Each structure stands twice: as C-alpha cells, then as structure tokens.
C-alpha cells in the first residue's frame, strides 16, 4: 500500500518544522481520511510539556504546597485477616503537632469496594487495609503518631493463594471466595466435535505472577475545602471518575468537587478511581479546617492500591495436520485480592485466532491480599502469554512454522460479536515484523543454537479494544492575535496528550504549534473527557479537538465571507489566510478576521462522533523478540524487539515511539523479573520496595527496539482514525520473549517471570 507509513524508533527532532509550515502545500481535509500525509499530525513533534519537565518547573501533585497545609499518614493492618476489637488514639492525640485522627469510631460508614466494605471497616482483609488516618503538622509527626495508636486485633485465619482459597476448607473472606459466586464463561460451536476433528490435541498449564503497577510518582492527593466546595489535586488517570467517587463518598454534589491534575508520573491503571487516601484527607481537612496532603509511600503502593492478578491457565487446543485449529478450551483462575476485581484472562483466546469451537471459564478468587486493579491491558497480558505459548507448541507439534500457523488461523471477522472489523491489518504486522526481525533468515529449530549463549527468536500476537469509549468534548478558543487555547477534560498521563491535541488543532487551523496552549486535567472548568484507561485517550479526545477546530474554520470562513463580501464557497483557507479563489487580492489572515468581526475571542466546542454501528473496533499487532539465554547463569538478555502494530493513525511518532518503548520494557519486566511475593506463613507481602520488587532498569532494555506502524488511519471509527497504543504496546511482549526463549533453549517455560533459577531448573532439573 502506497499510504503505508513505517516509522523507525530513531528519534528525530524537526525543529524547523513549524517555520517551514508556510511552505508546505495545502491539502484538503479529506487527507485525514485518505491516509495521505498530513502536515503536523503524524510528524515527530517535541512535547509541549518538554520544557516544564526538563527544567524541573513541572508541578506534579506531589509538588503542590498550600498555605497552612497539614500532612496525613495512614495506619494499616499488619495482619492479612483480622477484626478490630478496640482502637485507642489517646496517646497519639497527645503528641505535639498531631491535629486529628480518624478511625471507624468517628467517621460515617462510607461504603467502599462496591458496597462490600467501608472506608474504615472493622474487619481487615489484607495486610495494608486501612485502620486509621492521622493529620499532623508534618509527615514525620504523623508517622510518629501512627506508632502511638493502640489497636487490639483478633487475628483470623487467612488464605493468600487463589487455588487454595477456592477450596471448601479455606477461610472465607466474603460469603464465598469466588467473585460473584460463579466464573465468567463463554462458548461457541461444539467443543467435543471440534476435538474429535483434531489430529493433534495439546493440554498445558501456564501460570503468571501478581504484578504491581509501581508508578514513579506515588499516589498522592492534596485537598482543600472552600466552604462546602472541595478542591482536590490528585495524581489520577480519571479526573471526572475521581470527582464522582469523592462526591458519592462524601454525599455532596459532584459540582462541588473540583479535581485537578496537571502532570503525573504514571498510572498504568492504578489511578483510575478515587482512593481511600483522598477521602480520608478530605474528612481530615474538613475537621481541622486546613488543607491536607497525603502521599503514599512505596510500601503502601505495593500493599494497598492495586495489582495485576496472577493466573493459572489450563489450556487445551486441537488442530488438524494442515494447521487448522478445531477446538480450544481455556480454564483459569486468578486472585482478585480481598475485594472485587476481575481476574479473567481469556479474551485474547476468544478472539485473535480463528476457531469455531471454543469454551472459556475464568474464576476470580478472593484472597487476603490487596485488591487487584486494572493494569496495562487487564487479562490480556496473562492470557496472551498462555495462548501464544500453546499456539507455538502446537505449531511445533504439527511441524509448521509458528508464523505460518498463525496466518493459517487468521480471524477475518470478530468471532465473538460476529461483526466485521472497522479495519484489521494484523497480516501486515506479521509480514513486516517478520521481515524486521529476520524471521526466515535467522530462526533455527528450537534448542539448536550452539554454545552456552543460546539465541532464539519468538513472536506473539496482540488484540485490544480501541477507538474511543464514552463521549469526549474539547473547547477551542481562537484569540484575536491568531493564537489558540484548547481546553479538554482529559488528562495527560505523561504520554503526550498535551502535544497531540495541539497538533490536531494546528493541522486544521494551520497555525504554529507554539501558538497553541493546551489546558487539561481540571474537572471544574473543562468540558467532559473520559478517564484515560483502555488506551482511549487519543481516540476519544483527538476527534473532539478536530471537530472543534473544523467548526472554528467554518466560523472564520463565514466571518471572512461577510467582511470580504465573497460567498463562502468561493473562499479558500490556506496557512491561516482566507482568500477569494478568483481574486487573490481579497484576503484576510484569521487574526484580522477575528478583529474585523469585532470579536476578541471565538469559541467552539467539539464532540467525538459515536462509534460506527455494526462494526467491532480492535487494535492489532505482533511483537517479535530475539533473545540470548546464558545456560550457565540462566540469565536472559534481549537483543532486539520488533513491535509491528495496527493501531490506526499515529498522531505523534515521537511520543508514540516513547510509549511503545515503555510498554515493551514493562513487558520485559513482567517476563523476566517483576513479581509480588507473599509469605505463606504470615500472609504478608515480602516485596514492598523497589529493591525486592524488581522493575527493569536501563541495563535490562534490549539492544534494539524497532517500532513499525502498519496502519495509517481508520476513517470508519472517527474523524482522526486513531485506535490507541498504550496497552497494545505492552500486551504481547512477555509471550514473544517466552517463545524466543523456547526457540533458544528448546524447553518450554510455562511460568512467569522467567527468572534465572527457573531457567536453570527447566534446563537441568
């Protein structure tokens, strides 16, 4: 395809781009739909927030400081399961500098965890469950006060492993230890008939570990009451979701809560909802009549604010000798933690490969550990590891190249919704990714690599939701000096939202990027934008921005028509100058149009169009990994990762590359090292800091990462054709590495993370 764009991961800064804008020939707006190159959108563009972040002037929630601000710290359960018999705060209250202490004794019973508990519950269901919260003149005093609170606990029997928790004999955390009392199930076709048709049937069990988000910036809120109105600075992925959660909890109108987030240091799904800490801070602030800051420490982040549930996946698949999949069964369970959180992981299994006969059963199980939360593609990372591992094994079994096997079972339509895709270019991901990694040149039979440093190549597929989510709005203000401001109710997680919004507005209005200011992350003043989860930020907000800009262009042309006394249809808009097509002397810059309309500012509000009916919107991709395994040490080193994706339009290759790199590196962490470890004797978590919970460092990154985007735009889904990249970048990495490791050493690793001890054990028993 001539419109295909291939973007390498080399960063390049086109500083002169804005200046050269005036020289670029104008294209019609239909360019958006045709996949033709645009002038600003799709070009590598430096971050709008770059200066702030590099200079250190960027204000994160953690940096907010208000006059008279007090500091809060939380007392948390030291036991995995216990009942509070008594709390005595008298000694703590006497500590100089302590301002207030709240517990279940002096606060309303505020429902939490979908009504299964309270803000302060007297039953504590995991190590880290909230017991009390102290406000003091300093964080240090608040911490000291925690030591002085005397709590009498009745310890209860606990269970911290999902398989054990499902048994009859296990201690019950709620009425039943199974979320909603039953598994999530799905089936299509005739599973028995499917296996009967198979020439080969494989049954294998794969396990993945519990991972913790461990964002760079801690969970943090600063709260301030102004009469009956509450302002909350919060490190969050969903300002409106947090606002509504706080309003519900406090029983005040949503209009009286204002949530502000300018910059943040990562969320990955752990900052989508209002935190207990935020509500506790608000209660304390109300009581003491002062602003309150609360920031979790690394231990609290590892205990209490979410994780990716583990999984045990029993898989069974059948195929004919020609490679046709005839039947697939996925049965899994995973730990929700102590409160509701879905642990299902069968979605990729249901959708990405063509298979007419299929069953899935997913159990989400309560255990005495911190509750799960969505983490970068919930369910998909675990599920893709299991699925793409057994798919590789089946290909091996029937003597077929794994890539050929996947192409043989390519799903042309959405098998669950029975609907066509708005677009699917997974084919091209396979082809281009394979070419980039040297699939057919370099790949050798499994375990055939000579010497002690064994090389291997593997791959995996990716499917994810994409294309929008709920409505999003954007307001555009065009000033009479020709500069513009865009205000939207979305938030920038650090991924580049500020920048691509300016790009979209600049593309339509043809004004320099530097003259566009973007204001995000303030529920008080922004029109509504959805939470930044599910990779929906760009797909939801970019169409609203384009709509607002197109409306503005229409308004300007209409204004110019009246001033120039030329019909609108006889005017052209080029480089922010409107001129008569037939008389080039008759022209006005947009700044002059605004002035001559006697306006100071023109305003438009754009809306994202609804998703098209009758279609399924998904993003697709394939990642390829080349690894070295040192069979003396068991250590795995990544030589190269190729990420080839169909994610609709790329708005900014620079930040898109960043996000792919980040997703892949986080995938390496999940594949090789990240793991929450709990002590079965005490029920306590052992990995509560970044020394014990290992995340990848620069030493663990691949020698080379190559990002290939096979898609240009998906005009069916929106006026910008963006599908979203946050989660797709991360989904298949671990599975691709596992397949590469198998290719290197000839032994299947069925359990993540693939730590050196597991490799050595697999090789030498």
Decide: is 311 part of the binding site for a second copy (CB under 8 A).
no
Options 121-129, 152-160, 510-518, 746-754: segment touching a second copy (CB under 8 A): 510-518
State which residue, 486 or 642, has the beta carbon closest to a second copy: 486
Among 255, 558, 633, 692, binds a second copy (CB under 8 A): 255
In the complex with a second copy, the residue whose CB is nearer, 3 or 255, is 255
Select from 26, 601, 677, 686 the one that contacts a second copy (CB under 8 A): 601
Can you tell me which of 319, 436, 484, 735 binds a second copy, judged by CB under 8 A?
A: 484
Q: In angstroms, rounded to a whole number, what is the distance separating the alpha carbons of residues 115 and 131?
A: 18
Minimum gap (Å) between residue 603 Cβ and a second copy: 4
User: Of 1-9, 172-180, 476-484, 553-561, which segment contacts a second copy by CB under 8 A?
Assistant: 476-484
d(CA 536, CA 533): 6
Q: CB-based burial of residue 496 (10 Å sphere; 0-12 exposed, 13-18 middle, 19+ buried)?
A: buried
Our finding on whether 271 is near a second copy (CB under 8 A) is no
Distances (CA, A) of 450 to 454, 488, 629: 6, 57, 11
Largest CA distance in the chain: 88
Does 592 contact a second copy by CB under 8 A?
A: no
Q: Which of residues 602-661 bind a second copy (CB under 8 A)?
A: 602-603, 605
Residue 604 backbone dihedrals phi, psi, to 5 degrees = -135, 155
In sequence order, what are the residues at sequence separation of 6 or more whose Cβ sits closer than 8 angstroms to the Cβ of residue 534? 465, 469, 724, 727
How far is the C-alpha of 98 from the C-alpha of 138, rounded, in Å? 9
Stretches 292-300, 481-489, 553-561, 738-746: which one binds a second copy (CB under 8 A)?
Answer: 481-489
Three-state DSSP class for residue 118? strand
Instruction: Say which residue the tokens 């018999």 belong to.
Output: 85
257 contacts 75 by C-beta, under 8 angstroms: no
* Binding residue (CB under 8 A) for a second copy from 475, 532, 719, 743: 475
Residue 631 exposed, middle or buried by CB count within 10 Å (0-12, 13-18, 19+): middle
What residues contact residue 63 under an 8 Å CB cut-off, 6+ apart? none
- The verdict on 471 binding a second copy (CB under 8 A) reads yes
Buried/exposed code over 709-718 (b: 16+ C-beta within 10 A; e: otherwise): bbbbbbbbbb
| Interface with a second copy (CB under 8 A), residue from 114, 399, 582, 598 | 598
The phi, psi pair for 307, rounded to 5°, reads -165, 165
Candidate segments 50-58, 134-142, 634-642, 736-744, binder of a second copy by CB under 8 A = 50-58
Asked whether position 286 contacts a second copy by CB under 8 A, the answer is: no
Task: Based on the shown chain and the rule CB under 8 A, indicate whether residue 229 belongs to the binding site for a second copy.
Answer: yes
Burial letters 606-624, b for 16+ CB under 10 A, else e: bbbeebeeebbbbbbbbbb
> If binding is defined by CB under 8 A, does position 487 make contact with a second copy?
yes
Confirm or reject binding of residue 57 to a second copy (CB under 8 A): yes
Based on the shown chain and the rule CB under 8 A, indicate whether residue 490 belongs to the binding site for a second copy: no
498 lies in the binding site for a second copy (CB under 8 A): no
51 binds a second copy (CB under 8 A): yes
Should residue 506 be labelled a site residue for a second copy when binding is judged by CB under 8 A?
A: no
* Comparison of 230 and 365: residue with beta carbon closer to a second copy: 230
465 forms part of the interface with a second copy (CB under 8 A): no
DSSP letters, 610-645, are: PPPTT-B-EEEEEEEEEEEEETTTTEEEEEEEEEEE
Applying CB under 8 A, the residues found at the interface with a second copy are: 51-52, 55, 57, 59, 65, 67, 226-229, 240-241, 244, 247-248, 253-256, 470-471, 473, 475, 477, 479-485, 487, 489, 514-517, 519, 522, 524-528, 530, 598-603, 605
């Amino acid at each position: 395809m001539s419109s295909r764009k291939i973007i390498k991961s080399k960063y390049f800064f086109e500083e002169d781009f804005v200046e050269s804008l005036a020289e670029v020939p104008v294209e019609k707006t239909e360019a958006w739909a045709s996949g033709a190159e645009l002038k600003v959108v799709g070009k590598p563009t430096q971050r709008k927030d770059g200066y702030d972040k590099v200079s250190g002037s960027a204000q994160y929630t953690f940096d907010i400081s208000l006059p008279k601000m007090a500091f809060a710290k939380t007392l948390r359960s030291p036991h995995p399961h216990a009942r509070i018999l008594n709390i005595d705060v008298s000694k703590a209250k006497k500590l100089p500098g302590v301002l207030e202490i709240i517990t279940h004794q002096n606060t309303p019973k505020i429902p939490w965890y979908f009504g299964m508990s309270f803000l302060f519950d007297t039953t504590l269901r995991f190590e880290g469950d909230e017991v009390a919260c102290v406000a003091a003149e300093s964080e240090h005093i608040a911490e000291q006060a925690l030591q002085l609170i005397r709590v009498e606990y009745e310890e209860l029997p606990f269970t911290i492993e999902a398989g054990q928790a499902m048994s009859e004999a296990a201690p019950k955390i709620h009425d039943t230890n199974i979320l909603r009392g039953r598994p999530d199930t799905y089936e299509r076709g005739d599973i028995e008939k499917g296996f009967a048709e198979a020439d080969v049937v494989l049954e294998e069990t794969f396990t993945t570990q519990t991972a913790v988000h461990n964002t760079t910036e801690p969970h943090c809120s600063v709260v301030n009451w102004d009469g009956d109105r509450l302002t909350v600075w919060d490190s969050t992925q969903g300002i409106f979701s947090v606002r509504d959660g706080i309003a519900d909890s406090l029983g005040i109108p949503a209009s009286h809560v204002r949530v502000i987030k300018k910059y943040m240091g990562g969320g990955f799904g752990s900052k989508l909802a209002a935190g207990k800490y935020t509500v506790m801070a608000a209660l304390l602030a109300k009581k003491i009549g002062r602003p309150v800051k609360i920031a979790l420490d690394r231990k609290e982040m590892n205990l209490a604010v979410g994780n990716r549930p583990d999984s045990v996946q029993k898989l069974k698949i059948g195929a004919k000798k020609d490679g046709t999949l005839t039947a697939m069964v996925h049965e899994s369970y995973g730990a929700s933690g102590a409160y509701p959180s879905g642990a299902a992981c069968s979605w990729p299994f249901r959708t990405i490969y063509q298979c007419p006969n299929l069953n899935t059963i997913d159990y989400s199980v309560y255990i005495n550990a911190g509750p799960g939360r969505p983490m970068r593609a919930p369910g998909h990372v675990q599920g893709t590891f299991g699925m793409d591992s057994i798919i590789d094994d089946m290909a091996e079994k029937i003597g077929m190249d794994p890539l050929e096997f996947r192409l043989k079972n390519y799903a042309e339509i959405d098998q669950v919704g029975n609907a066509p895709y708005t677009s699917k270019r997974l084919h091209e991901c396979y082809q281009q990714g394979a070419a980039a990694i040297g699939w057919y040149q370099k790949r050798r039979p499994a375990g055939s690599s000579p010497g002690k440093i064994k090389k291997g190549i593997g791959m995996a597929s990716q499917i994810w939701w994409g294309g929008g989510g709920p409505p999003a709005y954007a307001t555009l203000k065009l000033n009479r000096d020709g500069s513009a401001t865009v205000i939207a109710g979305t938030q920038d997680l650090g991924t580049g939202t500020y920048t691509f919004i300016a790009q979209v507005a600049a593309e339509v209005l043809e004004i320099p990027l530097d003259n566009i200011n973007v204001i995000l992350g303030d529920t008080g003043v922004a029109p509504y934008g959805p939470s930044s989860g599910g990779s929906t930020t760009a797909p939801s907000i970019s169409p609203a921005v384009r709509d607002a800009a197109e409306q503005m262009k229409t308004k300007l042309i209409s204004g110019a028509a009246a001033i120039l006394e030329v019909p609108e249809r006889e005017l052209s808009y080029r480089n922010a100058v409107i001129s008569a097509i037939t008389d080039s002397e008759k022209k006005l810059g947009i700044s002059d149009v605004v002035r001559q309309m006697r306006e100071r500012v023109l305003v438009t509000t754009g809306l994202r169009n609804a998703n098209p009916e009758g279609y399924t919107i998904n993003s697709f991709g394939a990642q390829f990994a080349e690894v070295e395994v040192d069979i003396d040490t068991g250590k795995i080193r990544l030589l190269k990762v190729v990420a080839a994706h169909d994610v609709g339009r790329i708005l900014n290759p620079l930040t898109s590359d960043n996000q792919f790199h980040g997703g892949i590196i986080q995938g390496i962490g999940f594949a090789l090292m990240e793991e929450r470890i709990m002590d079965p004797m005490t029920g306590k978590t052992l990995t509560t800091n970044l020394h014990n919970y290992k995340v990848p460092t620069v030493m663990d990154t691949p020698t080379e990462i190559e990002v290939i985007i096979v898609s240009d735009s998906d005009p069916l889904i929106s006026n910008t054709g963006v599908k979203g990249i946050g989660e797709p970048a991360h989904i298949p990495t671990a599975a691709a590495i596992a397949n590469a490791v198998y290719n290197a050493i000839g032994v299947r690793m069925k359990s993540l993370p693939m730590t050196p001890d597991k490799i050595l054990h697999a090789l030498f028993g």
